[in-house]
């Protein structure tokens, strides 16, 4: 059994290490992070890219101007008119496929967008995600795209901004424009075509404004990796459990078989002790114990009184003949007989067997039996039933 437990320990440690490594890899992969700039040049035609653009309404290129040299950020200048209606002026990130055509991007796995916003002078801007809705949107006409939006501020030093993409708001004017029910405020980010960083009613008017939006990064979690982790860990431990119980049963069966074979000579020896010894004292001691071990009241003093031998002589006999103390030998005889009865008498209860071999306390018998055979009497009986009964060492072989 020690060899089995050693293997089980190695397997347990291996599974723990494998689970830890798997958890490190899959948990790390579950954290999503995507930088939107700089846009990748060339590469796979199927790859999605974000390209800088701008919006100005009424159309006037002088209202907003992008810096074409800025590759890793949105850098633009705005000069909003001092009077008149509020213009729709913004710097945009446009989703494009590998061939430069408009694309719809699934951002539903991302929960936040973070960036650093720097403005001179200080400004209040709006962030908008233009989401294609197949029921009302017209391709390329962003006024028909639900504009889920929120606001942020910036200054000359730069403000780190993190926006919750799950808590954006679609303004009322859009519902009025497309004649849609105002109660339908829900949205999903599974078909996004444009990200907008634009002016608001509180943006400076009649004076040039410079804006830089850098380190634009989407972040989120892909819980499919955690589901895979849970599934693989569960499968690994279920497999380990199945192997453990099957291997444990096999190891216990082998252990019981070994113990039975080991105890058979003792059974034979107990029968042989009924034959007279030349040393009458030794013969008397061994014969008395071999014939009275089932007596619950039997103890060393009883052997001394019955055989007329002193305590030292009794212990010397058991030590020289069997290498055991009186208590060890007595328990060995009782437990060996109990093991035999468990394998041969299926209709007899454990308690009845315990009483028959000299134990008045069944719990104490169970404790000693488990220490001797490594399993309870009931488990021993089950395991013994799975193997052929051991041959009687005293039985003469059959004649050919």
Q: Is residue 18 part of a domain?
A: no
Question: Would the pLDDT of 64 be above 70?
Answer: yes
**Looking at 84-93, 162-171, 181-190, which range is the least confident one?**
84-93
Domain count, the chain: 2
Q: Is residue 283 part of a domain?
A: yes
Residue in 141, 113, 115, 114 with CA at minimum distance from that of residue 57: 141
For position 111, what pLDDT does the model report?
A: 95
Q: Is the dihedral of CA 294, 299, 300, 301 positive or negative?
A: negative
Q: Is residue 19 part of a domain?
A: no
Q: Are 41 and 171 part of one and the same domain?
A: yes
178 in Cβ contact with 170 (< 8 Å)? no
Backbone angles phi, psi at 60, to 5 degrees: -155, 105
Q: How confident is the model at residue 390 (pLDDT cuts 50, 70, 90)?
A: very low
Q: Are 245 and 129 part of one and the same domain?
A: no
Q: Which CATH number fits the domain that encloses residue 126?
A: 2.60.120.260
Which residue has 């099957």 as its token pair?
246
Q: Are 254 and 152 part of one and the same domain?
A: no
Per-residue pLDDT reduced to its tens digit, 240-265: 888 888 787 777 776 666 665 555 54
- Distance, CA of 133 to CA of 190 (rounded, Å): 10
- Distance, CA of 304 to CA of 323 (rounded, Å): 19
Cα 3 to chain centroid distance, Å, stands at 28
> Over the chain, what HEC string results?
CHHHHHHHHHHHHHHHHHHHHHHHHHHHHHEEEEECCCCCCCCCCCCCEEEEEEEEECCCCCCEEECCCCCCEEEEEECCCCCCCCCEEEEEEEEECCCCCECCECCCCEEEEEEEEEEECCEEEEEEEEECCCCCCECCEHHHCCEEEEEEEEECCCEEEEEEHHHCECCHHHHHHHCCCCCCCCCCCCCEEEEEEEECCCCCCCCCEEEEEEEEEEEEECHHHHHHHHHHHHHHHHHHHHHHHHHHHHHHHHHHHHHHHHHHHHHHHHHHCCCCCCCHHHHHHHHHHHHHCCCCCCCHHHHHHHHCCCHHHHHHHHHHHHCCCHHHHHHHHHHHHHHHHHHHCCCCCHHHHHHHCCCCCHHHHHHHHHHHHCCCHHHHHHHHHCCCCCCCCCCCCCCC
Q: Are 263 and 351 part of one and the same domain?
A: yes
Q: How confident is the model at residue 170 (pLDDT cuts 50, 70, 90)?
A: very high
Q: Is residue 15 part of a domain?
A: no
For position 263, what pLDDT does the model report?
A: 59
For position 264, what pLDDT does the model report?
A: 53
Per-residue pLDDT reduced to its tens digit, 207-247: 899 999 999 999 999 999 999 999 999 999 999 888 888 78
Q: Are 58 and 193 part of one and the same domain?
A: yes
Q: Which of 221, 255, 289 is the last residue of a domain?
A: 221
Q: Are 262 and 203 part of one and the same domain?
A: no
Q: Are 131 and 269 part of one and the same domain?
A: no
Rg (CA), the chain: 43
Q: Which CATH number fits the domain that encloses residue 248?
A: 1.10.10.60
For position 393, what pLDDT does the model report?
A: 41
Range of the domain at 201: 36-221
Q: Are 344 and 288 part of one and the same domain?
A: yes
Most confident listed range (104-118, 256-270, 274-288, 361-375): 104-118
- Distance, CA of 375 to CA of 381 (rounded, Å): 10
- The token duo for 231 is 């599934």
Q: Is residue 22 part of a domain?
A: no
- Distance, CA of 36 to CA of 171 (rounded, Å): 26
Q: Who has greater pLDDT, 266 or 77?
A: 77
- Distance, CA of 89 to CA of 196 (rounded, Å): 10
Q: Are 68 and 216 part of one and the same domain?
A: yes
For position 244, what pLDDT does the model report?
A: 85
Q: Are 250 and 374 part of one and the same domain?
A: yes
Rounded percentage of the chain residues whose pLDDT exceeds 90 = 40
Compute the average pLDDT of residues 16-45: 84
Q: Is residue 88 part of a domain?
A: yes
Q: How confident is the model at residue 55 (pLDDT cuts 50, 70, 90)?
A: confident
110 in Cβ contact with 162 (< 8 Å)? no
Q: How confident is the model at residue 272 (pLDDT cuts 50, 70, 90)?
A: very low
How much is the pTM?
Answer: 0.63
Q: Is residue 400 part of a domain?
A: no
Q: Is residue 228 part of a domain?
A: no
Q: Are 198 and 308 part of one and the same domain?
A: no
- The token duo for 395 is 């039985």
Q: Are 176 and 319 part of one and the same domain?
A: no
């Amino acid at each position: 059994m020690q060899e089995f437990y050693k293997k089980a320990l190695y397997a347990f440690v291996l599974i723990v290490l494998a689970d830890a490594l798997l958890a490190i890899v899959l948990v790390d992969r579950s954290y999503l992070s995507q930088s939107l700039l700089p846009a990748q040049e060339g590469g796979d035609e199927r790859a999605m890219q974000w390209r800088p653009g701008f919006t100005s309404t009424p159309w006037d290129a002088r209202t907003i101007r992008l810096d074409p040299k800025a590759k890793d950020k949105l850098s633009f200048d705005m000069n909003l008119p001092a009077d008149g209606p509020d213009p729709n002026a913004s710097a945009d990130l446009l989703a494009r496929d590998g061939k430069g055509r408009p694309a719809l991007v699934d951002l539903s796995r991302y929960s936040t967008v973070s960036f650093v916003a720097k403005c001179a002078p200080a400004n209040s801007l709006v962030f908008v995600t233009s989401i294609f809705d197949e029921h009302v949107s017209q391709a390329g006409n962003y006024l028909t795209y639900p504009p889920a939006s929120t606001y942020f501020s910036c200054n000359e030093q730069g403000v780190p901004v993190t926006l919750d993409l799950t808590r954006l708001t679609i303004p009322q004017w859009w519902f009025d424009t497309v004649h849609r029910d105002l109660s339908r405020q829900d949205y999903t980010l599974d078909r996004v075509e444009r990200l907008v960083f634009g002016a608001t009613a509180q943006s400076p008017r009649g004076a040039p404004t410079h804006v830089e939006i850098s380190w634009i990064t989407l972040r989120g979690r892909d819980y499919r990796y955690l589901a895979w982790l849970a599934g693989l860990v569960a499968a690994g431990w279920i497999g380990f459990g199945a192997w453990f119980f099957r291997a444990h049963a096999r190891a216990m069966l082998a252990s019981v078989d070994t113990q039975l074979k080991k105890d058979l000579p003792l059974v034979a020896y107990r029968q042989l002790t009924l034959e007279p010894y030349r040393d009458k004292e030794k013969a008397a001691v061994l014969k008395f114990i071999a014939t009275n071990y089932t007596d619950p009241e039997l103890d060393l003093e009883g052997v001394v009184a019955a055989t007329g031998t002193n305590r030292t002589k009794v212990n010397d006999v058991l030590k020289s003949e069997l290498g055991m103390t009186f208590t060890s030998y007595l328990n060995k005889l009782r437990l060996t007989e109990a093991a035999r009865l468990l394998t041969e008498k299926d209709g007899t209860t454990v308690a009845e067997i315990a009483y028959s071999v000299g134990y008045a306390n069944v719990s104490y018998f169970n404790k000693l039996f488990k220490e001797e055979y490594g399993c309870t009497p009931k488990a021993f009986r089950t395991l013994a039933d799975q193997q052929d009964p051991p041959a009687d060492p005293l039985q003469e072989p059959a004649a050919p």
